[in-house]
Amino acid sequence: MKRLGDILVNKEPFEEILMGNEAVVRAMVETGTKVVSSYPGSPTPEIATAIYSIPKDLRPFYFEFSVNEKVAGEVAFGSAVNGNLSCVFFKSVGLNVALDSFVQFGLMNILGGLVVVLGDDPGANSSQNEQDNRNVYKMSRVTVFEPASPKEAYGYYIKAAQFAAKENTVAVLRLTTHVCHARQKVKFGRFEPGSTPYRTDFDRENGPYIALTTMALDMKRQSIKKLHQAKAYVKYEGLNTVHLSGDSHGKGIITSGLSFLSVMDVFEISKFRADILKLGMVNPLEEECILSFLKDHDEILILEELDDIFELQIKSLAFDNALTTKIIGKICDEDYIGEYTPDRTMATLARTWPDMVKMPENKGVFPFEVPPRPAQMCPGCGHRSAFSAIKNALDKEDVTVADIGCHTLGYMPPYNIGEILMCMGASMGMASGLALFNDKKRVVAFLGDSTFFHAGLPGIVNAVFNKHDVTLIIMENNTTAMTGHQDHAGNDIPIVGVLKGLGIENILSCDTYSQAKLTDIVKQSMAAKGLSVVIAKHPCMLKFTRLARKKSGFVQKHISIDQSVCNKTHDCVARFGCPTFVRNPDESVDINTDLCIGDGSCKPSCPEQAIGFGRGEK
C-alpha cells in the first residue's frame, strides 16, 4: 500500500479514500499553496499529520506550527501579501484568539490570496463550547465556503483558493467535525511540482495597508465590493445547488454542510421527499437563488446547526420581497444546541411536517448504542503523579484554577483539582482576580507548557506587574499533548529562562514522579508572597512510550502487586487512580497488563509498598 505522504504529492490524477482533513492537504498541493501555518486543535490537527507525512524534500510548501492562532494567521497573511497563495488552519475557538487580525484580513489587498481553514465543532465534541463562527464571518465580511463531505472539502478548498487569488482577498473553508474526520473516495487532479515559485513581491503601492482613519473606511468599501464579487462567483461556479425530488408537495429545505447529508440519510429510510437548496457558500448569501427557491415553494424549512444565521437573513429577504412562503426555522431553545444528526434531522422533519414524516417507533434512524467514554489520563501520565502529589499540599479552602490541556482532567475524581476553567491561557488572569482581597484562600493556577507560549504569558506578565499573590504550576510535558503531540516553542525556549527574564524569583521545579518532593515544593511555593512558580515536569508518557516501542531491543516492563503485602487500602485505585489497576470483587487489586506501561509512577501511592516491578525488573 502506498504511504499517505506519497499519495498526497502524486503527479497524476488518482482516486483514493481519504479523510476530509487529508483531502484538504491534496488541495493545497494542487493549488500551489506556498505557505501554511497552524496552531493545533480538533477537529483539524490531522491536516498537520497529513502534511508531515509528506517527506520534507517533497513537500511543495512551507509549513509551521506557530505559537498561537493569531500569529499563525499573521504569518499566512504576511506571506500572502508577498504574493503567495497561503493558508492557515485552526479550530473553532482558535478564531477567538486570531480575531484581532482576522477582522482586518477582509480589508486588505492580499496579493496571492489567503485561505483560512476553520474547523467548527457543533456538539462541542472536543472544544470548550460550540460557538457558531458564522456570526463572525458576517462581521468580518469574508467569503465562506462550506463543504458537506471530504470530496467537497477538497473541491471547495480549490474554489476558495481560486476565489481568494482572483480577488486578492481572504476566503474561509468552513469545516465541521464530521466533514474533517469522515472518509470518502475522492477523485483528485494533477499536480505539477515546481510550477509555482515562492514570491516576495510585497509593495506598499498595492495597498493601502495602513488601516487607519479614512483609509480604514476606503478599505471597508473595497471589502464590501469583494462580497459582491463573491456572489457573482458562487453563481458562476454553481456552488449553491438545487436538488429537486419530483415529489415535494411544495415543500423545500434550505440547508448546508453536514445537515444536508443528514437529510439525505433520512430520505434513504423514509418515503418523505422535499426539494433541497444546498448552500455551498454560506457567507455572503447569494440572494437570487434563495429568492427563486422561496418563490417555487409554499413551505420552507431552514435546517442549520447552531445559530439562526440563514434564518434571519432569509426571513428578511422574504419580507423585503413581500413573499408569502411560510418559512420555518428554529422554534425552541434546543434547536440552537448540538449536531444535526440523522436522528435529530428526522425528528425536526417529523415536527415540521407531521402528516408526512413519522419517527420510527421506539428507535432512532440509526439505533446504534455507543458506550460512554469518559476522558481520563493515560497510564503513566506525569500529570496524574503531579495531581496526586499536589493534593497533599492543598488545604480544603484553597482555590485551584484549571487551564486547557490534558491537565484539565485533574478536575475529575480522585484529584478534584481545577475548579474553574475558561479557555487557553485564562488560568493566570482568573487566578489573579480570585486572589484580590482574598486573605483566607490561597489561589493556585495551572498551565500547560504549550499554553504557556500560546496565551499564558500575558497573564503571567500581568501578575508580575500588578504583584498578584498566586502560585502558578506549569505542567511541563514537552509537547502539546491533548491535540496529538505537536511540538511547541518550549521545545527550543526554556520556560524557566523566560520566567527569570520576567523577574520572577520564586521558581521551583521537579519531576512529577518525585511525588514527596513535589508536595514539598508546592507547599513552599504557596507560603511565598507575590507570584511563585512551580514547574512540574515529566515527559508525556504516551508520546514517550510510543517512541520507545519503536526502538530495537525495547522490552515492555510491567508493574506487579505483591498480594501478600497488599492490605487492600486501595490508595492505588482511589487516590492515584491509574486505569491500569483493577479492583476485584474480593477487594484484591490486579494490574491490567494491556494498559500498564511499567513506568512505576504508581509505586509511591501504596503505603504498604506492595507495588513493585515484575519479576527481575527494576
Ligand X SMILES: Cc1ncc(C[n+]2csc(CCOP(=O)(O)OP(=O)(O)O)c2C)c(N)n1
C-alpha distances in angstroms, 475 versus 328, 331, 344, 445, 484? 50, 45, 40, 10, 16
Smallest gap from Cβ 490 to ligand X, in A, equals 8
Pick out residues in 270-299 that bind ligand X (CB under 6 A): none
Under DSSP, is residue 184 helix (H, G, I), strand (E, B) or coil?
A: strand
Instruction: Give the interface segment with ligand X, choosing from 11-19, 185-193, 209-217, 479-487 (CB under 6 A).
Output: 479-487
Q: Who's near 221: CB < 8 A, 6+ residues apart?
A: none
Shorter beta-carbon distance to ligand X: residue 176 or 479: 479
Nearest Cα to 443, choosing from 423, 466, 420, 425? 420
Shortest distance (Å) from residue 450 CB to ligand X: 3
Q: What is the CA radius of gyration of the chain?
A: 27
Find the shortest distance in angstroms from Cβ 146 to ligand X.
Answer: 21
| Grid-cell match 467535525, residue found | 177
Beta strand pairing status for 507-511 and 399-401?
unpaired
Tracing cell 499566512 back to the chain, one arrives at: 76
Binding residues for ligand X, total number by CB under 6 A:
23
Burial class from Cβ neighbours inside 10 Å (0-12, 13-18, 19+) for residue 206 reads: middle
Shortest distance in whole angstroms from residue 193 CB to ligand X: 32
Least distance from C-beta 344 to ligand X, angstroms?
A: 25
Pick the binder of ligand X from 477, 515, 525, 532 (CB under 6 A): 477
Q: How far is the CB of 309 from ligand X (least distance, A)?
A: 22
The pairing of strands 183-188 and 14-19 is antiparallel
Q: CB-based contacts of 395: which residues, under 8 Å, 6+ apart?
A: 442
Q: Which of 480, 545, 601, 605: binder of ligand X (CB under 6 A)?
A: 480
Indicate the residue among 73 and 342 with the shorter CB distance to ligand X: 73
Between 39 and 576, whose beta carbon lies closer to ligand X?
A: 39
Q: Does 53 bind ligand X (CB under 6 A)?
A: no
Among 40, 147, 380, 577, binds ligand X (CB under 6 A): 40
Query: Does residue number 380 form part of the binding site for ligand X (CB under 6 A)?
Result: no
Report yes or no: 277 and 269 within 8 Å, Cβ to Cβ: no
Position 482 contacts ligand X (CB under 6 A): yes
Q: Which is nearer to ligand X, 346 or 475 (CB)?
A: 475
Nearest residue (CB) to ligand X, 159 versus 407: 407
* Min CB(449)–ligand X separation in Å: 5
- Quote the strand ranges of 250-340, DSSP E: 251-255, 275-278, 281-283, 299-303, 326-328
**DSSP SS3 for 420:** strand
Q: Interaction with ligand X in 451-470: which residues (CB under 6 A)? A: 451
Site string for ligand X, 80-119 (x = CB under 6 A): -----------x-xx--x----------------------
Rounded Cα distance between 413 and 576, Å, is 10
Residue found by looking up cell 475524581 in the block: 413
The angle formed by the CA atoms of residues 383, 384 and 386, to the nearest 5 degrees, is: 60
Q: With binding defined as CB under 6 A, does residue 384 bind ligand X?
A: no
**Per CB under 6 A, does 41 bind ligand X?**
yes
Answer for which of 449, 469, 571, 599 binds ligand X (CB under 6 A) is 449
| Nearest one of 113, 105, 94, 110 to 140, comparing CA atoms | 105
Nearer to ligand X, 539 or 614 (CB): 539
442 or 488: whose CB is closer to ligand X? 488
Task: Write down the least CB distance from residue 401 to ligand X, Å.
Answer: 14
Minimum gap (Å) between residue 408 Cβ and ligand X? 7
Of 450, 471, 525, 560, the one binding ligand X (CB under 6 A) is 450
C-beta of 43 vs 113, nearer to ligand X: 43
Give the nearest distance from C-beta 312 to ligand X in angstroms: 27
Between CA 41 and CA 39 the distance in angstroms is 7
CB of 343 to ligand X, least distance (A): 28
Binding mask 389-408 for ligand X (x = CB under 6 A): ---------------xxxx-
The reply on whether position 385 binds ligand X by CB under 6 A is: no
Work out whether 475 is an interface residue with ligand X (CB under 6 A).
yes
Provide long-range contacts, Cβ within 8 A and 24+ apart, for 350-357.
352/301, 352/328, 353/251, 353/272, 353/299, 353/301, 356/249, 356/251, 356/272, 357/266, 357/270, 357/272
Q: Which residue number, 426 or 470, has a Cβ lying nearer to ligand X?
A: 426
Residue 113: all three cell numbers together:
490570496
Given a contact cutoff of 8 angstroms between Cβ atoms, the answer to whether 173 and 143 are in contact is no
Which one, 306 or 481, has the nearer CB to ligand X? 481
Q: Which residue's Cβ has the minimum distance to ligand X? A: 448
Residue 97 CB, nearest approach to ligand X (Å): 5
Sign of CA dihedral 12, 15, 17, 22: positive
Near ligand X by CB under 6 A, which window of 326-334, 350-358, 443-451, 557-565? Answer: 443-451
Report how far residue 104's alpha carbon sits from residue 296's, in angstroms, rounded to the nearest whole number.
39
Residue 542 interacting with ligand X (CB under 6 A): no
Q: Is 377 among the residues that bind ligand X (CB under 6 A)?
A: no
Indicate the DSSP class of residue 378: P
Distance CA 380, CA 597 (A): 7
Question: Closest approach of Cβ 458 to ligand X, in Å?
Answer: 14
Contact predicate 544/550, CB 8 Å: no
418 binds ligand X, rule: CB under 6 A: no
Q: Where does this chain bind ligand X (CB under 6 A)? A: 39-41, 91, 93-94, 97, 404-407, 424, 448-451, 475, 477, 479-483
